[in-house]
Amino acid sequence: MKLWRQVIVGLAATFLLSSARAENVKNVLVLHMESSRLPANIVAAKAIQETIGREPGTQIFEEYMDENRLTAEYPAFAERITQKYAGKKMNVILTVGPPAFSFMMKYGEQLFPAVPIVFSFIESRTLPPELPHNVTGVSNTISYASTVGLILKLQPDTQRIVVVAGSSADDISRRNGVAEEFKSYEGRLDFEYLEDLPLSQMLSRLGQLPSHSAVLFSTFFRDARGQLYIPKRVCQLIVDSSNAPVYGTFETLMGCGIVGGSLLQIEASVRKAAGLALQVMNGKNVASIPAEPAPPNEIAVDWRQLKKWNIPESRLPAGTAVMYRELSDWELYRKYIWVGITILALQSVLIILLTIQMRARKRSDQAVGLLTGRLISASEEERRYIARELHDDIGQRLSLVSVQLGMSGNQLPVDAVASRTELDHSVAELDALISDVHNLSHRLHSSKLEHLGLKAAMKDLCQEMAKRHGLQINLEAQIAQEGLSGDVPLCFYRVAQEALSNVVKHSDTTRVQVSLTQAPGALRMRVQDWGRGFKTGEAPAGLGFTAMHERLRSIGGRLSIESKPGEGTVVTAEAPIPTSNGFSADHSAIGSRE
């Protein structure tokens, strides 16, 4: 018994919950004119869905009258609506277009008694003087006169306006409105109405219009033969056939080739009507909502058609919307161009700063080079002075002392053996000192370099270094006997001195290869040993590389060092010299033999 009671309670609760949910659902019936392919209906459906469709618990039902094919079947259409929505409670009915509004005015109370009706896309001149208490909406005004005004502004020489309209009831109604508005232009313009014609004949006529003509397209749902059309497609055919510019009055015609016009804003009108319907759905009494005018028409033109018909933009009225404008390269890529200009400007500034810095550095390098050259010259001059003093003064005086000591030794008694031995030892030490002074003088300033040239001085240097330090030096000299002058020989001689001194101090080897080669316009020296070596990035202090580099830089040359631990070192010096064709090769091996 308890189980049956629980089942009954559960079923009752489910039924009550379902009933409550059904009561919370709000149903909206949208009745469109013509078919679902009509551009105006597509725009209207979108506006309704975005305004009402997002409301929670709302169901939208859409019906399309297709009245141009079903005019005689309005009663049958009403019967189908009755059967289809039997038992379905509608909260509001929204109509789009004159036929849908007329249908609901005739059958509304029969189909949906007392259900609020909100109309949209209705010309205000077609509305009845007094609306039923359950009807409100948004009315439009198609301003044909404003479009003619635009034509005259854009084409001031216009003399004839050709009005194109179809043969359906809706077409004829709009054509009558056109004629009424054009009365203000009588006497100034000629108006010709192309209607009640098959479309093919109409297109043929449009291709033969006289000059100073313009075409005004209204609507075209059906031609004189009863053939049905979608107005936008007919508009495209008219534009392709006409030898005069074509203007229109609906926003849905923009893009099909019309120049422009005072365009009725279908989407804005339907969206505003959907807002009124939403108020009714939320409980507001429809009788308290008066009918409202739609948003004002917009004067708009197609930029491409202005260019096609050579119509200057300067003729456009203030506030005209220009659509489909093709942007210039500047407008398309303005941001990128500005970015590029900015980058180029920054690069230019950077280049200028770097150029200034490079010039300043070059001046500094030149100043350093000049100072280095002066220091080197001063050093060489001091070396020359000291060498001359050692050779010509101290060396000669020491030699004189040696001779005098020798003469004094000859005057000693024969039995003064100890004294003679001590004197001979002093003379030998003095002769060694004289030799050292002579060698020091030679190292400070080579007279052979000054009088016999670089090759002789290099040979003498290698012999002296080999003798003093027990080296095996192989010298190859392929240089001109003449043509080497100025600071170049002295620089190479000093670099060779420093490089050979490094071999003695650091390489721990006795094998050295020295080569001097001369090519047209350049002198090259290479000093190679097979000693200890080092990592070039970790050269030990005291190698004198800086001095060698500065010497070569002062004559426009360069120095390179190649070395690896355990594989020896190669010092290469290069410098420009005047071109010379006289060469003399000398190959000699200089060294000590154990």
User: From start to end of 55-103, where are the E strands?
Assistant: 58-64, 92-96
The label of the residue with tokens 């009807």 reads 135
| pLDDT of 522 above 50 | yes
Q: What are phi and psi for residue 24, nearest 5 degrees?
A: -80, -20
Answer yes or no: is pLDDT of 380 > 70.
no
Q: What is the pLDDT of residues 81-94, one digit of tens each?
A: 999 999 899 999 99
22-61 pLDDT per residue, tens = 457 899 999 998 888 889 999 999 999 999 988 898 999 9
User: Which pLDDT score is estimated for 594?
Assistant: 39
Q: How many angstroms separate the Cα of 546 from the Cα of each of 443, 519, 541, 552, 565?
A: 20, 26, 10, 10, 21
What pLDDT is attached to residue 365? 73
Q: Give the DSSP per-residue string, 464-484.
A: HHHHHHT-EEEEEEEE-SSS-
Q: Which of residues 379 and 260 earns the better pLDDT score?
A: 260
- Which CA distances in Å does 253 have to 100, 216, 310, 433? 21, 12, 21, 117
User: Which pair of tokens denotes residue 131?
Assistant: 């609306």
Higher pLDDT, 424 or 553: 553
Distance CA 570, CA 563 (A): 6
pLDDT digits (tens, 9 = 90+) for 324-351: 988 777 777 888 888 989 999 999 999 9
**The token pair that represents 507 in the structure block:** 């390489």
Count CB neighbours of 42 within 10 A: 15
Task: Please state which of the ranges 173-187, 396-410, 534-548, 575-589 shows the lowest mean pLDDT.
Answer: 575-589
What is the model's pLDDT at position 387?
62
Nearest Cα neighbor of 52 from 96, 83, 19 is 96
pLDDT score at 72 = 53
Average model confidence (pLDDT) across the chain: 83
% of the chain surpassing 90 pLDDT = 43
Residue 288 carries which DSSP code?
Answer: G
- Quote the CA–CA distance of 199 and 237 in Å, as a whole number: 9
| Residues near 443 by beta carbon (within 8 Å), at least 6 away in sequence | 464, 497
> What confidence tens digit (pLDDT) does each residue in 192-241 have?
989 888 999 999 999 999 999 999 998 888 888 888 888 899 999 999 99
pLDDT tens-digit profile of 386-411?
766 665 567 667 767 666 676 766 66
Q: What are phi and psi of 437, to 5 degrees?
A: -65, -40
Most confident of 62-76, 181-195, 205-219: 205-219
Which residues, at least 6 apart from 334, have a Cβ–Cβ distance to it below 8 Å? none
Among 27-31, 75-79, 370-374, 525-529, the minimum mean pLDDT is found in: 370-374
Give the distance, in angstroms, between the CA of residue 108 and the centroid of all CA atoms in the same chain: 62
Question: Where is pLDDT greater, at 238 or 433?
Answer: 238
pLDDT tens readout for residues 102-113: 999 999 999 999
Which domains can be identified in the chain, with CATH numbers?
25-140+266-294 (3.40.50.2300), 144-263+296-323 (3.40.50.2300), 449-594 (3.30.565.10)
Structure tokens at 137: 């909406």
> Angle at CA 292, nearest 5°, toward 107 and 131?
35
Confidence grade of residue 20 (pLDDT, cut at 50, 70, 90): very low
Q: pLDDT-based confidence at 290, cuts 50/70/90?
A: very high
Do 136 and 291 touch, CB atoms closer than 8 A?
Answer: yes
- Read off the tokens for 87: 């038992």
2 has a pLDDT exceeding 80? no
Beta 298-302 vs 260-263: how paired, if at all? antiparallel
Average pLDDT over residues 518-522: 85
Rounded Cα distance between 8 and 185, Å, is: 79
CB neighbour list of residue 533: distance below 8 Å, 6 or more residues apart = 507, 563, 564, 565, 566, 567, 568, 569
**pLDDT of amino acid 584:** 47
With 80 as the cut, is the pLDDT of residue 157 above it?
yes
Determine the distance from the C-alpha atom of residue 374 to the mean position of all C-alpha atoms in its chain, rounded to a whole number.
Answer: 54
**What's the rounded Cα separation, in Å, for the pair 121 and 129?**
17
pLDDT exceeds cutoff 70 at 586: no
Q: How many CB atoms lie within 10 A of CB 118?
A: 28
Q: Mapping DSSP to helix (H, G, I), strand (E, B) and coil, where does residue 98 land?
A: helix
